[in-house]
Amino acid sequence: MGKDIFLKRYEKTALIRFFALFFGAFMLMFLLLSTLYYFQESSRLTKELEISSKMNYIECMRLEMDECSEEKSIKINLNIIHKDILYAFFLVLFIFIPISLGLSLFSIKPVRQASIMIDNFIANIVHDINTPIATIMLNAKSLLKREKNEPKKLNRILSSSQQLSDMQHDLLALADEKDEVIFEKVKILSTIIDIIESFKIQYPTQNFELHLQEQSITLNPVDFKRIVQNLISNAIKYNRHENSIKIQILPMQLIIEDKGKGILNPKKVFNRNYRENYTIQGNGLGLASVLSMCKRNHIKIDIESQLNIGTRIILNFC
């Protein structure tokens, strides 16, 4: 039920836009009506004062009073009109804010239903492929213990199976399939060293500049591993001239920095399917899943990037 109550990031964006559209339309209508009311009332009061002034002048002349003069410039008191418009403004706010919000929620209902259907579909598919992935990995490990002739091929099978398993975890993160996340103390240093060692097998020429110190943070260990794997994988993909990738562990902070191509729109990289370079292998889901996992682990992620200089990603552990 938790997934049905809370809005996702893109659903919140849609809700805000719909609310702004409906409420803006109501306020525009109020502005037009209040302007029309203002001019009508000021014109009516002006005419009434002119007629009253003329009647007074005529009455004064009829009675042959000494001081009779017709007022040429008449100033009307618009305070009453201003108060009426102000009261109407607050009444409009009181009435149309709930109406706008209700219409906005009604408008995004089809989007929410489609989103829930897609998430359920992803979760079902991911669960269905879990068994064959586990079977492939178990059999490959078993063969690797017995067969000594072709270890490279078996290691490739294991590596590909592990990539499928990692993608499965990313898809579950995107679908928000995990309502409850299990937290435990995670040793940051040892986790990062294990991840770097696995990348060195895939990218033997890639250098890493490490500034690490051990600290333990309460996180979901699988989520944290996937966050770091995705971020380092992106740093390697977009790095240039085999520059070193700098990784620092600071108190309650992890920094991953590359000297790569940089990012044109850092704010958009967390959107699903967003890719700036289609010549590099990827599906545009990695950073979207990273953001989802960071949120449920209470990690704040910031990106600093400059084109042709590099990218710096900062994880702040709350």
Kind plus residue range of the DSSP H or E element containing 300: strand 299-306
Give 49's contacts (C-beta < 8 A, 6+ positions apart): 74, 76
> What pLDDT score was predicted for residue 246?
92
Q: How far is CA 126 from CA 69, 74, 121, 169, 190, in A?
A: 92, 79, 9, 8, 29
Provide the β-strand partners of residue 257: 246, 312
DSSP code for 304: E
pLDDT tens-digit series, residues 247-306: 998 888 999 999 888 888 888 888 776 776 655 655 566 788 888 888 888 899 999 988
| Domain-wise residue ranges, the chain | 2-111, 117-174, 184-317
Q: Is the pLDDT of residue 11 over 90?
A: no
Provide the β-strand partners of residue 299: 317
Residues 283 and 166: beta-carbon distance below 8 Å = no
Classify domain 184-317 by CATH architecture: 2-Layer Sandwich (3.30)
Q: Is the pLDDT reported for residue 235 higher than 70?
A: yes
* Mean pLDDT on 125-150: 72
pLDDT, tens only, 86-114 = 888 888 888 888 888 888 888 888 877 87
Least confident of 39-48, 74-83, 95-104: 74-83
Evaluate if pTM is beyond 0.75. no
SS3 100: helix
